[in-house]
Structure 1
């Protein structure tokens, strides 16, 4: 029997596995990953940004874990020779109302203990001649990384420390007993583990419900579509360029991101996905659609965000509209500059009343821990999340090692 089984081979699952094994080296720890490789979904399909934590409510887990996570991610990349850069982020205001919102954003960032400063229109033209705006907010610490490479290195360290990773191990059932958890796999195998930590991303709600928790929320998938700029624009910006977010809307908006590979992407938008793990425009999963349709919070969220949802759908269907969203602050782009790039799907937890879960959500039973909501900035925050999970496991499961209560 395994001491701890971690479900999910994304960055949160692998970081948690490594953290637990390092802290409690006498335990047997295994990771179950249903795909044939790690980081197949959210981790391997995000924008690669190392976030600083500007947007998140002071005192929230996102604010604290993101701030610590930036430092931990940069340190890990340095120690292991992994590629990263810190070009900084400019949040660009293009209207008077956005200038007002930017001041509120600066205040929030400073309350989170972050190094940010305003940039005038003149300075913006000087440092980013291809970007147009009335002003901007600069976050110099924001960076970019290859999260797939980070996961692969963490996995190597985990295996070297005695951990096991099982691929093609899709979990279809969890049954918590008095002394163990029975894990059913799609291939008919049943495993036994003293404890389970589920880091299942897009399937988080389903695994939580198997253990009797999480009935008040569901995962609603939102597809983020990106474009890669034509190679002639590989040096179009020096910083990451973000719009000022509308506080009434749930997502940050389309931005320009310098990637580790030396090119620039624009995106993502946020359109409802009809398949949790479907990445084409025509992806459709009857089970996923039925689950959304039967959850009252989905319809309430849809009603509350109908206007923005229709706008996002139109931008998805008509590339010219997507381009106009980019041209607000980068007017030199034209339609031929938007070239194909792989999309991603964000696992967003939604409550029964239709509100989106804005912070990380972690629930537990006597023998299981469930990472129920971990969208962006979860990749940046993975190591602090892993530390929190390890402390929660030590406290709840009474593991050997640190028994310090989680923050």
Structure 2
């Protein structure tokens, strides 16, 4: 059996690795348009190993994230990849947020997670500078170097005999009853089974393969700051606000990374390119693809005020700092230094609904699998997403 995996982020590499484990005699090829692994969503995220607090019980996100938080820690331990299980606090800073906090606590318990409610005094035992009226402590949350996970997966793939092609952009896909031909800028690749893990371009790759995706990828840029080195002591681990349940974005938060730096963010603004990491990065084709989509306009009409708030925070360091100061009052604008941004590949339906679960579409009797929505917590869940996909593919 010949498997072709498009996309060299953490999900694509994990899937390819799983295939080599389950089918050691198979031919596995990974195609990546960049020269490095994990160049986009994987390499620009906050490095958090999520526990699975936020996700609807029974959903793919809930089940795969919970299992993934354990398997990712085990993988990092086995391969000596930097990581720590730090736990985190989700805090209500206003009494009006308490109903949402308690609902989130019940959801976390329904997902079987080690969580408990804590008062202000106990919260400060974990985070001395935090401000809250009540919080949730999540014991199983951690941090990891997901870029290093990708490098390790690529090394394991190479050792297993898989074919790894970087610098190969997919330009077309032809499928017949006998084979699937993936055309790339580095030549054609012939396979029996196609797995699309193209992230920010997953819907486009699906259309190349003759699939009509039920949602379209709309890119949202997440902008980060980090605390100055002399102010890192303000945060011990991870501090999150109570999220708005209408959105998949978790709100600006504070995360101590594996290297000791403390990242702050991200906010969420519409990007002007699928890989639009700055305001100045504009690709007319990507803009036309987004603004010509009815789903984006339906979303904008429904949540205009939220979008304006995010743009204002993006354009104002003072507003960004004020959002952080609700969690840790000692943080000021002078404490913040710009850090690299990321772009979230968010699938949106034609009716303007944000797809809030992983969206994995099977076609052709399992000969094609398309991962059409896999933003956070996909890095945490990647080894489990790989198992899920491999179980649905022909041997």
Please indicate the TM-score interval, normalised by the length of the shorter structure: over 0.9
Question: Is 1:149 matched up with 2:148?
Answer: yes
Question: Is 1:277 matched up with 2:293?
Answer: no
Per-residue CA deviation, residues 21-67 of structure 1 (Å, 9 max, x unaligned), is 11100001010010000000000100000000000000000000000
2:381 corresponds in structure 1 to: 381
Q: Secondary structure at the match of 1:129?
A: coil
Spell out the pairing of 1:15-94 with structure 2 (5 A cutoff): 15-94=14-93
Is the CA contact (8 Å cut-off) linking 1:234 and 1:263 kept in structure 2?
yes
Is the CA contact (8 Å cut-off) linking 2:67 and 2:384 kept in structure 1?
yes
1:259 corresponds in structure 2 to: 257
1:4 corresponds in structure 2 to: 3
Unaligned runs of 5+ in 2: none
- Provide the rounded CA distance (Å) in 2 between the counterparts of 1:81 and 1:217: 38
Displacement of 1:190 in angstroms is: 2.5
- Provide the rounded CA distance (Å) in 1 between the counterparts of 2:246 and 2:78: 40
1:372 corresponds in structure 2 to: 372
RMSD (CA atoms): 1.1
Spell out the pairing of 1:1-400 with structure 2 (5 A cutoff): 3-187=2-186, 189-366=187-364, 367-393=367-393, 398-399=394-395
Displacement of 1:382 in angstroms is: 0.2
Is the CA contact (8 Å cut-off) linking 1:133 and 1:329 kept in structure 2?
yes
TM-score w.r.t. structure 2 length? 0.98
Is the CA contact (8 Å cut-off) linking 1:6 and 1:32 kept in structure 2?
yes
- Provide the rounded CA distance (Å) in 2 between the counterparts of 1:253 and 1:137: 16
Is the CA contact (8 Å cut-off) linking 1:213 and 1:363 kept in structure 2?
no
Displacement of 1:369 in angstroms is: 0.9
- Provide the rounded CA distance (Å) in 1 between the counterparts of 2:119 and 2:45: 30
1:405 corresponds in structure 2 to: none
Q: Secondary structure at the match of 2:233?
A: coil
Displacement of 1:299 in angstroms is: 0.7
Unaligned runs of 5+ in 1: 400-407
Q: Secondary structure at the match of 1:342?
A: strand
Per-residue CA deviation, residues 183-237 of structure 1 (Å, 9 max, x unaligned), is 11135x2222122111000000001112232443100000000001000122222
- Provide the rounded CA distance (Å) in 2 between the counterparts of 1:55 and 1:216: 24
CA gap 1:381/1:214 in 2 versus in 1, 3 angstroms: farther
Is the CA contact (8 Å cut-off) linking 1:249 and 1:308 kept in structure 2?
no
Q: Secondary structure at the match of 1:265?
A: strand
Q: Secondary structure at the match of 1:356?
A: coil
Is the CA contact (8 Å cut-off) linking 1:227 and 1:267 kept in structure 2?
yes
Mean CA deviation greater in 164-173 or 242-251:
242-251
CA gap 1:13/1:215 in 2 versus in 1, 3 angstroms: closer
- Provide the rounded CA distance (Å) in 2 between the counterparts of 1:35 and 1:249: 30
